[in-house]
């Protein structure tokens, strides 16, 4: 795996892009803290971009399956670099509306880029190396987040806000250049007999029977809603914890703790998976995610808030590589573009709902009651999904014996 040029391009590209992304995210938080007083309004601004990504999801999946993954990644990468211009105008004019435009264009590019990236990963390594590559890829992403937030925290005190976005632009252009050197072998599209149309030119309706026929895929899709309850309002919670503890430095510490936890989880997940089934890994760490949310009831205590984010990071560091490997290995490759676009669309819808709900609850009941509600909901959802998965597996075992 490590001798592959494509693997190194994907990993280095992810690191560079991650630096650019987190420079921009910290810049966004700073800009919104200055211009937008309400948590709910902040959530609406972030949600505006997610809505645009949801709208183009079906088209993104279809195009990803029809065209070369590299072509889709290049085009979306250029759009992502262009989006930074909107934010520079927002800073110059002080207008929140230009920031909304930035969010929309950025999420439009992401709606195409990430399904293409997820579909490209199984094409550059053997199936036996997928879990390891997914873990390493997510670790690189987390490392770039830790360094990106640290660098952004330093730069924001020394330089104008616009320089953070100039750094993002440079990073996105660097990713675009690296993507040119990818060399991915893709199978030629099969043609259907009717009018010579490409066989995989349909929309999501062709993916639904695949998902329905693979219980582990459908169950994993549903189970990813649990970490979304935490991730959807992540940035808003960090801002509130900072205000609750009256400490601006806690933001960077929390991001770092969660990132280190994620990296450790992604490092150990292969050893854990060798001794347990994917189902066991997903459900166990889904419960851990719920407990980490409940721990944030003590968000006013600095040590416990850091521990909660570290535990959450470790749990999702094991959860997400396992889920990604299940999707990449169980779903047929000719459906990868549409499937990952569908999954991305589901994530965006879930993220948007949680984001708006988080903003509303933070204004209405405060952080500590909100995380208690979310923690109980996460544990309840996991327990229901666990019982349902056992029922499905029992039914499958019985049907296999009968046949």
**CATH code assigned at 91:** 1.20.1250.20
Please indicate, yes or no, if residue 203 is contained in any of the structural domains: no
Please indicate, yes or no, if residue 204 is contained in any of the structural domains: no
Q: Is the pLDDT at 233 greater than 90, yes or no?
A: no
Please indicate, yes or no, if residue 94 is contained in any of the structural domains: yes
Q: Where are the alpha helices (DSSP H) in 159-214?
A: 162-180, 208-213
Q: How many CA atoms lie within 13 A of 126 on its CB side?
A: 5
The C-alpha atoms of residue 329 and residue 347 are separated, in whole angstroms, by 20
User: What's 198's DSSP letter?
Assistant: B
Same domain, 61 and 151: yes
Same domain, 173 and 228: no
Same domain, 24 and 173: yes
Residues 6+ apart with CB under 8 A from 79: 105, 108, 109, 112
pLDDT confidence of residue 187: 57
Q: What is the mean pLDDT of the chain?
A: 79
Range in 100-104, 205-209, 220-224, 367-371 the model is least confident about: 205-209
Percent of the chain clearing pLDDT 90 (strictly above) = 8
Query: Residue 24 to residues 18, 54, 148, 149: CA-CA distances in angstroms?
Result: 10, 21, 9, 9
Query: Which residues constitute the domain of residue 222?
Result: 215-330+365-398
Same domain, 270 and 314: yes
pLDDT confidence of residue 403: 45
The C-alpha atoms of residue 117 and residue 59 are separated, in whole angstroms, by 16
Do 324 and 133 form a contact (C-beta atoms < 8 A)?
no
Please indicate, yes or no, if residue 354 is contained in any of the structural domains: no
Please indicate, yes or no, if residue 51 is contained in any of the structural domains: yes
pLDDT confidence of residue 23: 81
Same domain, 86 and 163: yes
With bands split at pLDDT 50, 70 and 90, how would you rate the model's confidence at 312?
A: very high
Look at 314 and 10; give whichever has higher pLDDT. 314
Look at 263 and 316; give whichever has higher pLDDT. 316
Q: How many CA atoms lie within 13 A of 120 on its CB side?
A: 25
The C-alpha atoms of residue 90 and residue 246 are separated, in whole angstroms, by 28
Q: Where are the alpha helices (DSSP H) in 296-366?
A: 302-330, 336-364
Per-residue pLDDT, averaged over 258-265, amounts to 85
pLDDT confidence of residue 146: 72
The pTM for the full model equals 0.69
Same domain, 388 and 270: yes
């Amino acid at each position: 795996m490590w001798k592959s040029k494509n693997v190194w391009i994907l990993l280095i590209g992810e690191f560079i892009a991650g630096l650019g992304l987190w420079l921009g995210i910290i810049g966004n938080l700073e800009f919104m803290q200055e211009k937008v007083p309400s948590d709910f309004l902040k959530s609406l601004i972030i949600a505006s971009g997610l809505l645009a990504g949801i709208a183009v999801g079906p088209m993104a999946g279809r195009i990803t399956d029809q065209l070369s993954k590299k072509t889709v990644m290049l085009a979306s990468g250029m759009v992502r670099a262009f989006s930074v211009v909107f934010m520079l105008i927002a800073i110059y004019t002080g207008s929140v509306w230009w920031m909304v435009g930035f969010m929309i264009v950025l999420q439009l590019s992401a709606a195409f880029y990430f399904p293409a990236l997820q579909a490209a990963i199984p094409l550059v390594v053997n199936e036996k190396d997928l879990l390891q590559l997914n873990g390493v890829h997510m670790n690189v992403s987390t490392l770039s987040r830790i360094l990106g937030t640290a660098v952004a925290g330093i730069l924001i005190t020394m330089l104008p806000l616009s320089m953070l976005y100039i750094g993002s632009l440079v990073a996105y252009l660097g990713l675009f250049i690296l993507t040119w050197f990818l060399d991915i072998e893709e199978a030629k599209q099969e043609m259907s007999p009717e009018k010579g149309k490409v066989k995989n030119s349909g929309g999501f309706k062709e993916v639904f029977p695949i998902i329905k026929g693979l219980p582990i895929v459908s169950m994993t899709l549903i189970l990813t809603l649990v970490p979304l309850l935490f991730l959807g309002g992540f940035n808003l919670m960090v801002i509130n914890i900072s205000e609750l503890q009256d400490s601006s430095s806690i933001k960077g510490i929390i991001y770092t703790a969660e990132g280190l936890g994620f990296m450790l989880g992604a490092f150990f997940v292969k050893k854990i998976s060798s001794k347990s089934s994917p189902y066991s890994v997903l459900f166990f760490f889904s419960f851990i995610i719920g407990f980490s949310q409940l721990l944030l009831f003590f968000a006013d205590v600095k040590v416990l808030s850091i521990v909660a984010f570290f535990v959450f990071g470790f749990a999702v560091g094991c959860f997400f590589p396992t889920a990604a490997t299940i999707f990449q290995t169980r779903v047929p490759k000719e459906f990868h573009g549409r499937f990952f676009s569908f999954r991305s669309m589901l994530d965006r819808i879930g993220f948007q709902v949680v984001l708006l709900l988080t903003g509303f609850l933070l204004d209405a009941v405060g952080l500590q009651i909100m995380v208690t509600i979310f923690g109980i909901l996460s544990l309840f959802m996991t327990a229901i999904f666990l019982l349902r998965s056992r029922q499905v597996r029992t039914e499958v075992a019985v049907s296999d014996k009968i046949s």
